[in-house]
Amino acid sequence: MSSPIFEFARRYADSGVSRFHMPGHKGQVLHGLEPCDLTEIKGADYLYEPEGIIARSEENAAELFGTARTLYSTEGSSLCIKTMLAIAHRCRKDHSRRMLVMAPRNVHKAFINACILLDIDVRWVYPAAGSRSLCSSGFTVEDMVRTLFACPYKPDAVYVTSPDYLGNIADIPALSGFCRERDIPLIVDNAHGAYLRFLDEDIHPITLGADMCCDSAHKTLPCYTGGALLHISKNAPEGYGECAKNVMSLFASTSPSYLIMESIDLCMDMIGKDYRQRLAECVSRTELCKQRLNSAGWKTVGGEKCKITIAAAECGMNGDELGDRMREAFIEPEYTDPQYTVLMTTPFNSEEDYTRLEKLMTEIPAGKGERAIPDILPEAVVSMPIRKAAFSPSREVDVEDAEGLVCGLTVTSCQPSVPAVISGEVITADIIKILKRYGVLRVSVL
């Protein structure tokens, strides 16, 4: 017998690699392990019916984020996303029609899973101009207005992903104005943006007018992997807060991890202390790092303060290859694809992490490459509802042989987990090109 997972983790922990990737604690020792791994014993409260310590801790979080209610998830934003859509489904005003959500296409797979489980129809928002990459959307409010006109009836929610994987932040104030004027709830996948609340200028989606959002605390805050928050705004429609716990328990394990809950709990406490100051220092150091990379000839893109997105292809290097060069220099990025190399910073990165990165990037000659070629996602040809296709009998074929067939189970690459083709859509030649670019070689077809 062996313990390969633990052995890998131990070796990685001992290696001294600079962690420019999730989770936010960057491997710093903040917490002991087994002694505190509990279950719902007397006094330890119940996550889905909290009255004691968990209720108090969630109230602390609600106060920190200025929400009506904040729920802990020990199963990431993935659980929060299903929960948010189920809440919107349950509390919508008109139940006589199928649930309809309007969303830009760069959704995480968890959104599609929620649509499958809840039998939701989606009207995709395609930007008239700008990026159509899998990772980012580039939509404007005008794109929303245009798409709204094309909807068969008023959608039950607008759902957006912001920040996206490349560090772009949507115009949430404009979007929330658009939604409020039309009385449509706004739901934000803020998995990458828990820290936005604590910047000098608070740009958290709840502050800017979203009705609900999820934050993967583990992605940008010092919290164990799996720790996430579901926020419900003080202005959210009636009934959201009241049903939220019951709805979340529909999808969740009955054994929530206490280690993860403790980690969120400690994280909230730390945020209440010196975190803001440390975050401000991290933002300055990240900005300086970007400037140094730019001086060395590397182009960085995206407005997010704690992401360094290197437009590698534009500087003459494949983003995946740049990621490999980083690994040789003991730097692990968060994400790479042929166009981009993405690094995430938090206050738990050390000065050595930054200097190691800066040294490497001045040693690699930046050149002149092609402007990034976006994936130009073609508008979907929908052949049947997402749920129906996902539950229909299907078989797997090579992508090369899939042209003209209907997608069975949604297809994503492991990262960024944004689907190029969704259950019920026709697989076209353009889609096949995108799938191959993201390393997806087999697809499920009906």
Ligand X SMILES: Cc1ncc(COP(=O)(O)O)c(C=O)c1O
Residues that bind ligand X (CB under 6 A): 76-78, 108, 110, 161, 165, 189, 191-192, 216, 228, 417
How far is it, in rounded angstroms, from Cα 116 to Cα 390?
7
Q: Of 138 and 394, which CB lies nearer to ligand X in the complex structure? A: 138
CB of 173 to ligand X, least distance (A): 20
CB of 219 to ligand X, least distance (A): 7
Q: Of 77 and 410, which CB lies nearer to ligand X in the complex structure? A: 77
Q: Of 171 and 430, which CB lies nearer to ligand X in the complex structure? A: 171
Q: Are strands 307-310 and 300-301 parallel, antiparallel or unpaired?
A: antiparallel
Six-digit token string for 332: 């692990």
Six-digit token string for 165: 């994987």
Q: Of 77 and 345, which CB lies nearer to ligand X in the complex structure? A: 77
Q: Of 286 and 413, which CB lies nearer to ligand X in the complex structure? A: 413
Long-range contacts of 366-371, Cβ-Cβ distance < 8 Å, separation of 24 or more? 366/296, 366/297, 366/298, 366/315, 366/316, 366/317, 367/297, 367/315, 367/316, 367/317, 368/315, 368/316, 369/312, 369/313, 369/314, 369/315, 369/316, 369/317, 370/313, 370/314, 371/314
CB of 419 to ligand X, least distance (A): 12
Identify which of 416, 437, 436 has the alpha carbon closest to the alpha carbon of residue 105: 416
Tell me the residue nearest to ligand X as measured from the CB.
76
Q: Of 168 and 394, which CB lies nearer to ligand X in the complex structure? A: 168
CB of 107 to ligand X, least distance (A): 8
Q: Of 77 and 309, which CB lies nearer to ligand X in the complex structure? A: 77
| Strand ranges inside 87-149, DSSP E | 100-104, 121-125
Contacts of 223 (CB under 8 A, 6+ apart): 23, 24, 25, 217, 260, 263, 264, 267
CB of 77 to ligand X, least distance (A): 3
Six-digit token string for 383: 């052949």
Q: Is 321 left (phi over 0), alpha (psi -120 to 50) or beta?
A: alpha
**211 and 185 in contact (C-beta within 8 Å)?**
yes
| Interaxial angle between packed helices 109-118 and 76-91, expressed in degrees from 0 to 180 and rounded to the nearest 10 | 40
CB of 296 to ligand X, least distance (A): 28
Q: How many CB atoms lie within 10 A of CB 230?
A: 26
CB of 78 to ligand X, least distance (A): 3
The maximal CA–CA distance of the chain, rounded, in angstroms, is 64
CB of 18 to ligand X, least distance (A): 20
| Residue listed under structure tokens 């633990």 | 6
CB of 189 to ligand X, least distance (A): 5
Determine which helix (DSSP H) or strand (DSSP E) holds 263, and give its type and residue range. Answer: helix 258-270
CB of 98 to ligand X, least distance (A): 24
Q: Kindly state the DSSP code that residue 287 receives in the 8-state scheme.
A: H
